[in-house]
Amino acid sequence: MADPADIRRAWDVEALRGLWTRARAAVEAEETTFRLELPDDAARQAVGDLYGRPMWGEGTRISVPKLDAALRASPFGVGLREALELLHGRPLGGARPTAAPARSADPLAEQLAAHGLDGAGWAGPWIDWVHRYGRISRSELPALARDAAAVLAELTSDRVVSRAELAALTGDPHALDTGTALSRVVFKAASLALGDQRPRRDLWASWGVVRNAASAGAVCWALPLVGADPWSRGVRERAELGLPAHLSLLDLRAAPDRLVEPGTAIAVCEHPRLVEAVLGERIGHPVVRATGPLASALLSRLAADGAELHVHGDFDWPGVAAVARLVERTGARPWRMAAADYREALDRAAARRTDLGTLVGDPVRTPWDPDLAGLMADTGRAIDEEMVLPSLLADLRS
C-alpha cells in the first residue's frame, strides 16, 4: 500500500470529509449507493476529480462499488474500506463493497422470477443497471423490486393500460410520474427490452401504455358498427355528422364484444391527412389511423371480428416496419405498398421536382414484396404517405 502519510495529505481534506463520512455510513449499512451533499465549488471539484466525473448542483448520488473502483485506480491503489479505516483511524463494520449483491438473494431477481420474467433477455442487464446506476439504496430495494416487477408483468401482458392504472398496482397513484425512482427503472427496462433509446412517451406507447384512460387515441371514420347499443349508435352518429370518432381507452372498454361483420373492408393509414381528406369528400369507406397502442387495440378487435384490413404507411423504414408488424399481428393486407408503387411515387416526385427526404435508420424486411426493401435501400429516398394521397383516395372512392 502507498505511504499512509501521502494518502492522508491528499484525501484528508475539508472538501472530501463529507464524502468519507457518508461513504462510511453506507458501507457499514451495506448500502450500494448514498446521497452526498456538495455545498460548494471546492467539494464539487474534489469529489468529481476523485470519482471520475464532473459534479454539478448541490448534491449527487454516489455508487459505493464505483467509488471503490475509482480509489483502486488512483495512484495510491487502495480500496474504499482501506481508505476509510486509514482516514478515520478505526476499523469498519459491515461487508466489503461488491459490484452487486449475490444474485441468489437479489430482490430484483426474486421478484422477476415470481412474475415469470426472469427469463426475459432484458432481465439480467436491467438488474445490473439498477444496482449500478439506478440510485436505489439497499433499504429501498425490496419495495422497489416488488413494485417494478408488478408493473413490468402488466406491461408484458399485451393489454392496453393507462399509466395511472399501472401506478395503482403499487398503491401510489403517482408512483410512475416522471422523475420517480419507479418510473426511472421501469423506463430503463422498456428501453432494454425494445433495444433503442426512443423518447419516454414512445417507449410507453410501444408497451401499450397510454398517458391516461380518458384522452383520445384511436382515430376512425365511418366504421359500420353492427350494434344497436348506445355506444355503437354514438360512433355512427359521429360519421353522420361528418366527424371522425376519437376513441379513448375508456371508449374501447365500453365497446360491445362484436364491432363489425366478417369481411368488412377497412382502410388503415399512418397519417391523419388521409382521414381529413376522406371526411372532406364524405367518402363512405371506413378508415382507421394506425398510430399508438389504442389504434393497435382497435385494429386487433376488428381483425378478431373478421374484418379485412388494408394497411398503408410511409415508404420509410419506420413506416414499412409498422406495416410489417400489423400484417404479422392481424393478417392485414399491404395496400399500395409494393415495389411498383414505390417506383411510381418516385417517378411522380421526379416529374414534379418534389424534394424527397433521405431514408434514415437500418433497412427493414418487406416479406409481402422483398423487392420493395431492396429498391428503397438502393434509392435511399423516403416517400411520405401524403405524397400518394390521390391514389389512396381513388381506391377509397371505388
Asked whether residue 97 is assigned to any structural domain, the reply reads: no
Identify whether residues 193 and 241 lie together within a single domain.
Answer: no
Asked whether residue 95 is assigned to any structural domain, the reply reads: no
Asked whether residue 22 is assigned to any structural domain, the reply reads: yes
Identify whether residues 339 and 239 lie together within a single domain.
Answer: yes
Identify whether residues 202 and 232 lie together within a single domain.
Answer: no
Q: Is the per-residue pLDDT at 258 higher than 50? A: yes
Residue after which a domain boundary falls, among 41, 62, 88: 88
Q: Is the per-residue pLDDT at 266 higher than 80? A: yes
Question: What is the domain range of residue 34?
Answer: 4-88
Identify whether residues 194 and 227 lie together within a single domain.
Answer: no
pTM summary value:
0.62
Asked whether residue 330 is assigned to any structural domain, the reply reads: yes
CA distances from 214 to 178, 250, 354 (A): 19, 6, 40
CATH of the domain at 301: 3.40.1360
Asked whether residue 96 is assigned to any structural domain, the reply reads: no
Cα–Cα distance for residue pair 206/147, rounded to 1 Å: 20
Q: What is the CA radius of gyration of the chain?
A: 28
Cα–Cα distance for residue pair 7/5, rounded to 1 Å: 5
Identify whether residues 227 and 276 lie together within a single domain.
Answer: yes
pLDDT at 197: 57
Identify whether residues 31 and 45 lie together within a single domain.
Answer: yes
Q: CB under 8 Å to 81, separation ≥6 — which residues?
A: 27, 68, 92, 96, 97
151: helix, strand or coil: helix
Cα–chain center distance at 96? 36
Give per-residue pLDDT as tens, 202-240.
666 776 777 777 877 899 999 999 999 999 999 999 999
Number of domains in the chain: 3
Residue 7: Cβ within 10 Å count:
20
Identify whether residues 360 and 237 lie together within a single domain.
Answer: yes
Inter-helix orientation angle 41-51/64-72, to 10°: 70
Identify whether residues 220 and 270 lie together within a single domain.
Answer: yes
CA distances from 208 to 22, 54, 164, 249, 254 (A): 41, 37, 13, 11, 18
Phi (first) and psi of residue 287, to 5 degrees: -135, 140
Residue 62 pairs with which residues in a beta bridge? Answer: 34
Average pLDDT estimate for 356-379:
93
Q: Which residue has the higher pLDDT, 265 or 211?
A: 265
Residue after which a domain boundary falls, among 210, 230, 265: 210
Asked whether residue 94 is assigned to any structural domain, the reply reads: no
Give per-residue pLDDT as tens, 66-123.
898 889 888 888 899 999 988 888 888 754 444 444 444 689 999 999 988 888 888 8
Identify whether residues 72 and 169 lie together within a single domain.
Answer: no
Asked whether residue 325 is assigned to any structural domain, the reply reads: yes
Give per-residue pLDDT as tens, 311-360.
999 999 999 999 999 999 899 999 999 999 999 999 999 998 988 999 98
Identify whether residues 195 and 243 lie together within a single domain.
Answer: no
Name which of 149, 270, 294 is nearest 209 in CA terms.
Answer: 294
351: helix, strand or coil: helix
Asked whether residue 150 is assigned to any structural domain, the reply reads: yes
Identify whether residues 121 and 167 lie together within a single domain.
Answer: yes
CA angle, 116 as apex, 110 and 32 as ends, to 5°? 30
Residue 63 pairs with which residues in a beta bridge? Answer: 33
Residue after which a domain boundary falls, among 88, 112, 134: 88
Identify whether residues 196 and 225 lie together within a single domain.
Answer: no
